[in-house]
């Protein structure tokens, strides 16, 4: 067992913002890896609100046991508007001082990283960020924790919808999450063989889509699947258009928050271990305000300023693969 002399630094681990499968494996692996490398890990419950309230506990084996397979975040999350006020950030800092915690690992998205960046500006508490959002819309990284699990949840749902679509010769429109990023919709459309895909990144042409679908129907296609990103606002309009333009019974399925849930896939669990190890290594190396990134198959890090000042762009190869489903 590591003694008190070796455990010289204390690090707190937080999950913040929208939940994503992979957060729990990241929490456990960050705590385990920190302990292995001479740091004493703590857990903050209920995100930024927990920092303000001082809901901080040691990362004991009992607390970490049995969470790796669970979806969401066992620590809880919150979107705390109070954290944007200096007096509440100061309150959070005082709680960290009480515990002797000098560094933070935050698992979340852009909003969470920006909040801790301001916290660093105020009190110089270094943090390492682990990108976790099913939207996959954080600049500088090809992958965020939770994306693979979300894609598998969508794939399972679309496969089930296909059964009833084919049984009744219907058109089904499935709306995915992703805010203004169409990654989930594009990847799911390719993986499920959808006939239509509308995303913010690609200009669509309903007239051309209608002509293509009528030809497919004439050739024997008995049903139609369309995947729509929520950022387009086209879920209901496209469903009505399918009925009018093609004369088909058309239905809309909004998957909603089912995409956030589910036990994390093997890929998300392994990526969580790798992201967490890199985050702890960054802190041990003295880096501050860095977010772990995964780019072109390699792990690295970007400053919060690089991420904040960069516009996220989807993989252009993915966009080209999907373009034919939008016209």
Could you tell me which residues come within 8 angstroms of residue 280 by beta carbon, excluding any fewer than 6 positions away?
11, 30, 33, 34, 37, 39, 105, 128
Residue 92 backbone zone (phi > 0: left; psi -120 to 50: alpha; other: beta): alpha
The predicted-structure confidence for 172-231, as pLDDT tens digits, reads as follows 999 999 989 999 999 999 999 999 999 999 999 999 999 999 999 999 999 999 999 999
- pLDDT-based confidence at residue 3 (cuts at 50, 70, 90): very low
pLDDT in tens, 69-78: 999 999 999 8
- Domain 148-260 in CATH 3.40.640.10: no
**Catalytic annotation, pick one of 19, 135, 148, 268:** 135
Res. 38 pLDDT band, cuts 50 70 90? very high
Residue whose token pair is 């976790």: 132
Going by C-alpha positions, the residue among 78, 128, 141, 114 that lies closest to residue 276 is 128
| Architecture of the domain defined by 9-146+264-311 | 3-Layer(aba) Sandwich (3.40)
Segments of 45-102 assigned E as strands: 56-58
Please choose, from the candidates 6, 23, 195, 174, the residue with its C-alpha nearest in 3D space to the C-alpha of residue 109. 23
Mean pLDDT of the chain: 94
For the segment 292-321, the average pLDDT, to the nearest whole number, is: 91
Distance CA 163, CA 159 (A): 7
So what's the pLDDT on residue 7?
59
* pLDDT 10s digits, 255-267: 999 999 999 999 9
Encode burial over 265-278: b for 16+ CB neighbours within 10 A, e otherwise: bebbbebbbebbbb
The string of DSSP codes covering 138-201 is: -TT-S--BTHHHHHHHHHHHHHHHHHHHHHHT-EEEEEE--TT--HHHHHHHHHHT-SEEE-TT
The pLDDT tens digits for 242-254 are 999 999 999 999 9
Q: For CATH 3.40.50.460, list the domain ranges present in the chain.
A: 148-260
Confidence band (pLDDT; 50, 70, 90) for 1?
Answer: very low
Torsions phi, psi for 208 (to 5 deg): -70, -40
The H or E element spanning position 207 is helix 206-218
- Please give the backbone phi and psi of residue 257, each rounded to the nearest 5 degrees, phi first: -75, -5
Q: Is the pTM of this model over 0.85?
A: yes
pLDDT on residue 4: 45
- Burial readout 60-72 (b: 16 or more C-beta within 10 A, e: otherwise): eeebbeebbebbb
Could you tell me what percent of the chain has a pLDDT over 90? Answer: 91
The encoded tokens of residue 194 equal: 């959808």
309 catalytic per annotation: no
| Residue range(s) in the chain whose domain bears CATH number 3.40.50.450 | 9-146+264-311
């Amino acid at each position: 067992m590591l003694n008190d002399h070796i455990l010289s630094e204390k690090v707190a681990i937080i999950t913040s913002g929208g939940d994503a499968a992979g957060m729990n494996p990241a929490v456990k692996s960050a705590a385990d890896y920190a302990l292995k490398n001479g740091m004493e890990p703590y857990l903050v419950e209920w995100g930024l609100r927990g920092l303000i309230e001082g809901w901080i506990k040691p990362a004991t084996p009992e607390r970490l046991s049995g969470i790796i397979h669970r979806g969401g975040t066992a620590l809880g999350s919150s979107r705390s508007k109070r954290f944007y006020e200096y007096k509440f950030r100061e309150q959070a800092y005082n709680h960290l001082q009480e515990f002797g915690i000098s560094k933070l690992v935050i698992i979340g998205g852009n909003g969470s990283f920006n909040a801790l960046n301001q916290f660093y500006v105020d009190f110089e508490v270094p943090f390492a960020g682990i990108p976790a959002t099913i939207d996959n819309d954080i600049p500088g990284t090809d992958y965020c924790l939770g994306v693979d699990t979300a894609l598998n949840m969508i794939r399972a749902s679309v496969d089930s919808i296909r059964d009833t679509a084919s049984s009744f010769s219907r058109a089904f429109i499935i709306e995915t999450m992703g805010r203004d990023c169409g990654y989930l919709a594009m990847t799911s459309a390719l993986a499920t063989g959808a006939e239509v895909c509308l995303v913010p990144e690609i200009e669509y042409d309903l007239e051309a889509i209608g002509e293509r679908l009528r030809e497919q129907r004439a050739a024997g296609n008995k049903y139609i699947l369309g995947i729509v990103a929520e950022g387009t606002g086209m879920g209901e309009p496209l469903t009505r258009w399918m009925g009018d333009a093609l004369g088909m019974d058309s239905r809309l399925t909004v998957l909603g928050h089912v995409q956030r849930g589910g036990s994390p896939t093997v890929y998300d669990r392994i990526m969580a271990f790798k992201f967490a190890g890199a985050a702890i290594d960054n802190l041990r190396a003295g880096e501050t305000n860095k977010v772990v990134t995964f780019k072109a198959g390699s792990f690295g890090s970007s400053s919060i300023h690089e991420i904040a000042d960069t516009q996220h762009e989807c993989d252009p190869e993915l966009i080209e693969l999907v373009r034919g489903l939008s016209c």
